[in-house]
Amino acid sequence: MTEHVLRVSDLETSFMRDKTEIKILRGVNFSIRKGEILGLVGESGSGKSLTSLSIMQLFHGTTGKIVKGSIYFNGEDLTKMSESEIRKIRGKQMAMIFQEPMTSLNPVLKIGKQLMEAIEMHLKLPKSESKHHAIQMLKSVGIGRAEEIIHEYPHQLSGGMRQRVMIAMAMACHPNLLIADEPTTALDVTIQAQILELMKKLKEENETAILLITHDLGVVAEMCDKVVVMYAGQVVEEADVFELFASPKHPYTKGLIASVPKIGDKKEVLDSINGHVPSPQNMPKGCKFAPRCNQVMSICQEESPPTVEISATRQCSCWLYAKKDVEVNA
């Protein structure tokens, strides 16, 4: 078994609002191995982006703070590092691409400059070599006229091209971990497929582990080895991608999968989950999903469910699996 590139355990992150601390992540656990693609799914507001920002510790200009837990990256706890130590890891061993290719690049700097910035700093290459490296990176993400593009500005490129540039930038120092927060959500379907294909290719070539945040279960099925389902700042289920789609365990996961329209489906209304994600200020006492759960029991409203290991690759936080014998429900 290969070692873990990233292991997040018991991660809690808060924001300050009106001088009170509001906990958004309330104990997040998962891990990623070398060369693995882990999908992070969940409704809007469940804390997916915040999980990624916590790993990168990109809290600048916000009141965000990790209050508990640890993030082991290549065996070292990032939560114990200083900002300058983390900065040496960011963009080098751990890189990130964002949802909005239109605004994620600096509009007044040339593409080449933006690529070379990280290369010069982390790889300590002289200018000419780093330019050569930047051109190589652009070629590796399928940009043919790389020599010209380094002299262009972001607004001269299409959304798909910009996302390729973002990927080239992220992969420039061959990171061990690539975090992609909804990298294709803002793109056309055809471009989306190309970008995902590219990420897969780069992962294979570099053995990069990828944390892929998405709300698109189709993308998960296509790309991921493993899936983590988040709800209200917690991981409710973790499973191998085939297991998850074949037999979802957590009622929330079941709802998510049922809400995906299938070809040939004649139903007028999708089976979506009723209700809304509870706001961080008034979280229900027991299971956070209880108000929306169709299998809710009395204990669910009293106590938070424990995380149950269903198999070596599977975990689920739900009272349904805690009380009874696992085999019966599998």
Partner 1 sequence: MWKYTARRIVEMIPILIVISILTFLFIHLIPGDPARLVAGKDATIEDVENVRHELGLDKPILKQYVDYMKNLMTGELGTSLTTGLPVIDMFKTRFMPSLHLTFLSMLWATLIGLMIGVFSAINKNKWPDYFGMVTAVSGISIPGFWLGLLLIQLFSVQLGLFPTGGLDGFSSYILPSLTLGAGIMSMIARFTRSSMLETLQADFIRTGRAKGLKEHSVIVTHALRNSLISVVTVAGLQFGFLLGGSVVVETVFSFPGMGRLLIDSIAFRDYPVIQSALLLFAFEFILVNLIVDVLYTVLNPKIQLDS
Ligand X SMILES: Nc1ncnc2c1ncn2[C@@H]1O[C@H](COP(=O)(O)OP(=O)(O)OP(=O)(O)O)[C@@H](O)[C@H]1O
115, 168 contact by CB (below 8 A) = yes
Q: Which of 15, 72, 153, 245 binds partner 1 (CB under 8 A)?
A: 153
> Which range binds partner 1 by CB under 8 A, 22-30, 35-43, 53-61, 313-321?
53-61
- Distance of closest approach, residue 14 Cβ to ligand SF4, in angstroms: 23
Q: Catalog residues that contact ligand X under the rule CB under 6 A.
A: 15, 24, 42, 44-50, 62, 64, 215, 280
Beta strands in 18-115 (DSSP E): 20-33, 37-41, 65-73, 76-77, 94-97
**Could you tell me how many residues make up the chain?**
330
Residue 81 interacts with partner 1 (CB under 8 A): yes or no: no
Residue 73 interacts with ligand SF4 (CB under 6 A): yes or no: no
Burial of 289 (0-12, 13-18, 19+ CB in 10 A): buried
DSSP per-residue string spanning 298-316: GGGGTSPPPEEEEETTEEE
Query: 92 or 131, CB closer to partner 1?
Result: 92
Q: Which of 38, 78, 89, 149 binds partner 1 (CB under 8 A)?
A: 89
Lookup: tokens for 218: 């189709």
Residue 300 interacts with ligand SF4 (CB under 6 A): yes or no: yes
* Contact string (CB under 6 A) for ligand SF4, positions 269-288, x = contact: ------------------x-
Beta-carbon count within 10 A of 80 CB: 9
Lookup: tokens for 82: 């200083």
Residue 93 interacts with Mg ion (CB under 5 A): yes or no: no
The amino acid at residue 57 is Q
Q: Which of 90, 293, 307, 314 binds ligand SF4 (CB under 6 A)?
A: 293
**SS3 state at 303:** coil
Q: List contacts with ligand SF4 (CB under 6 A).
A: 250-251, 287, 289-290, 293, 295-297, 300, 305, 318-320
